[in-house]
Chains A and B, each alone.
Chain A
Amino acid sequence: GAVVSQHPSWVICKSGTSVKIECRSLDFQATTMFWYRQFPKQSLMLMATSNEGSKATYEQGVEKDKFLINHASLTLSTLTVTSAHPEDSSFYICSAPDSSSYNEQFFGPGTRLTVL
């Protein structure tokens, strides 16, 4: 099946710094990717839809200036958490749809962010 990777798998940063998380589709192209956030023992919360060549679409309540998304190519989307604070600590997961049928999503392994 299709593979989606994320980098880094975990990151620890100081409060006030910015952190970039990459999501790559390794063996297929993805014009759309999705970014999720998962708090401990909770379900995934969709943050935004990343669109290649255009602006991301953010879900209600998600600050677009806080969580910058750039879909630079058909295989790469990045999420930058700007001026991170401890409450931004979470597990961030990306996914990309099956471009042949759009009836499946392939998930990355996730990135655990800890802000001190």
Chain B
Amino acid sequence: GNSVTQMEGPVTLSEEAFLTINCTYTATGYPSLFWYVQYPGEGLQLLLKATKADDKGSNKGFEATYRKETTSFHLEKGSVQVSDSAVYFCALIRMNRDDKIIFGKGTRLHILP
């Protein structure tokens, strides 16, 4: 079946540190891949996405590249800020109508000033 595995948190970094949150997936066919961010007390916001192999999604300094050969979609940011503290969810959708989104368990990120 389809699944998403992401590194468990919490991840604690100092401001301006380099961030990597690993995400790997298992899926039939060619899924679209996503990173969502959830700030405290809020719903999910789409951070970035990639719909085919070798695509790079980017937004707000975050990047992730769709690697089909390693079935990965790792999230990276070169210099994190305190405002990046949130929970990050890796997710996939297969390219089928009405298909359910599959989430990873989420990674809580704490950035220290």
Contacts and interface: CB of A to CB of B under 8 A. Distances in A.
Interface of A: 1, 6, 31-32, 34, 41-44, 46, 49, 93, 95, 97, 102-110, 112
Contact of A43 (B34, B93, B100, B104): B104
A104 B93 contact: yes
27 contacts: A34-B101, A41-B108, A43-B89, A43-B105, A43-B106, A49-B98, A49-B100, A102-B96, A102-B98, A102-B99, A103-B32, A103-B51, A103-B93, A103-B95, A104-B32, A104-B46, A105-B93, A106-B46, A107-B36, A107-B43, A107-B45, A107-B46, A109-B42, A109-B43, A110-B42, A110-B43, A112-B41
A69 B81 CA distance: 40
Nearest to A4: B43
Nearest to A102: B97
Interface of B: 32, 34, 36, 41-46, 49, 51, 89, 93, 95-101, 103-106, 108
A6 B44 CA distance: 13
A104 B42 contact: no
A101 B43 CA distance: 22
B42 A102 contact: no
A9 to B, nearest CB: 9
Q: Which 3 A-B pairs have the closest CB atoms?
A: A109-B43, A110-B43, A103-B32
Contacts of A110: 42-43
Contacts of B108: 41
A107 B105 CA distance: 17
Given A43-B104, A43-B106, A95-B101, A108 B43 contact: yes
A32 B98 contact: yes
B98 A107 contact: no
A104 B105 CA distance: 19
A44 B103 contact: yes
A65 B15 CA distance: 48
